[in-house]
């Protein structure tokens, strides 16, 4: 079974509008972390935002926020006021405390390609 | 700023050749990782290392080996390249932190390898 599921292979959004990228995860580990990365066409993976399983509040970083619904095991990325430069692949990833060890192994989803239209 | 560099952005090799992909990080990170990325499959972990001379298999280690002789350098080796190893290879590093998930991984720019 997939540990990280991103059901949207591609999405379009109009410039200046908000967009939500879906991510659901599967773990029995009580302690875990969720990450979102952006990968522009240049190829480099850029860390965006992190949410810990015990965090009480949803994480926010500038225009990025994470809609964390623990009971539903979802960690959707919300990008507000989309910009043309947001066009990229977006990957959701999870690290489990017990099974991932202390080495920081991440499990990645298959990604969502976001295209921002002018 | 953390910097992770990879020796080549693009590489073309022939089937059967021995291929070395080099990764260097300048932040004294203990952990280093090699992933391959294929369309529709996301990133898959090949090998990782949490200390010098230490290595652990990831999800898809077959056909690959690694070397970590120095803390800052982690090499991925394709002993005999095959066409199904044509892919984007990404290196990453991280420093272990006390709280789970705070050890974000920093990625290099990737090496696009084509095996003919």
Supply the DSSP symbol for A33: E
B17 vs A: CB within 8 A: no
B96 vs A: CB within 8 A: yes
Rounded CA gap, B97 and B95, in Å? 6
Q: Which residues of B touch A100 (CB under 8 A)?
A: 100
**Nearest CA distance, B9 vs chain A (angstrom):** 9
Cβ pairs bridging A and B (under 8 Å): 80
CA B113 to chain centre: 12
Task: Please report the pLDDT score of residue A42 as a whole number.
Answer: 86
What single string gives the DSSP state of each residue in A44-112? --EEEEEEETT-SS--EETTEEEEEETTTTEEEEEE-S--GGG-EEEEEEEEETTTSGGGT--EE---E
Asked whether residue B53 carries a pLDDT value surpassing 90, the answer given is no
Query: Coil, helix or strand for B70?
Result: strand
Is the Cα torsion angle A85, B26, B1, A54 positive or negative in sign?
A: positive
Chosen for mutation from B61, B96, B100 (greatest number of chain A CBs closer than 10 Å) is B100
What single string gives the DSSP state of each residue in B79-104? SS--GGG-EEEEEEEE---SSTT---
Contact between residue B98 and residue B70 where contact means Cβ atoms under 8 Å apart = no
* Interchain proximity B102–A50, CB inside 8 Å: yes
> Which residues lie across from B77 on neighbouring strands?
B20, B65
Q: Which residues of B touch A52 (CB under 8 A)?
A: 99-102
Asked whether residue A101 carries a pLDDT value surpassing 70, the answer given is no
Structure tokens belonging to residue B83: 């066409």
Contact between residue A108 and residue B42 where contact means Cβ atoms under 8 Å apart = yes
Asked whether residue B96 carries a pLDDT value surpassing 60, the answer given is yes
B34 vs A: CB within 8 A: no
pLDDT by residue (tens digit) across B60-86?
A: 999 999 999 999 999 999 999 999 999
pLDDT by residue (tens digit) across B1-50?
A: 668 999 899 999 999 999 999 999 998 888 899 999 998 888 999 999 98
Chain A residue with minimal CA distance to B47? A105
């Amino acid at each position: 079974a997939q540990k990280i599921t991103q059901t949207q292979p591609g999405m379009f959004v109009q410039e200046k509008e908000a967009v939500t990228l879906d991510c659901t995860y599967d773990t029995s580990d009580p302690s875990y972390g969720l990450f979102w990365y952006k990968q522009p066409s240049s190829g480099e993976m850029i860390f965006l935002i992190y949410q810990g399983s015990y965090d009480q509040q949803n994480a926010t970083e500038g225009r990025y926020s994470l809609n964390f619904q623990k009971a539903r095991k979802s960690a959707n990325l919300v990008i507000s006021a989309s910009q043309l430069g947001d066009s990229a692949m977006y990957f959701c990833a999870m690290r489990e405390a017990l099974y991932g060890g202390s080495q920081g192994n991440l499990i990645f989803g298959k990604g969502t390609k976001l295209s921002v239209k002018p | 700023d953390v910097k992770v560099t990879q020796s080549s952005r693009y590489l073309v090799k022939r089937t059967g050749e021995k291929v070395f992909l080099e990764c260097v990080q300048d932040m004294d990170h203990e952990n280093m990782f090699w992933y391959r990325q294929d369309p529709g499959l996301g990133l898959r972990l090949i090998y990782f290392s949490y200390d010098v001379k230490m290595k652990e298999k990831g999800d898809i280690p077959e056909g690959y080996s690694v070397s970590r002789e120095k803390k800052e350098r982690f090499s991925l080796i394709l002993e005999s390249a095959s066409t199904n190893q044509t892919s984007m290879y990404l290196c990453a590093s991280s420093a272990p932190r006390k709280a789970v998930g705070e050890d974000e991984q920093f990625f290099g720019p990737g090496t696009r390898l084509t095996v003919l």
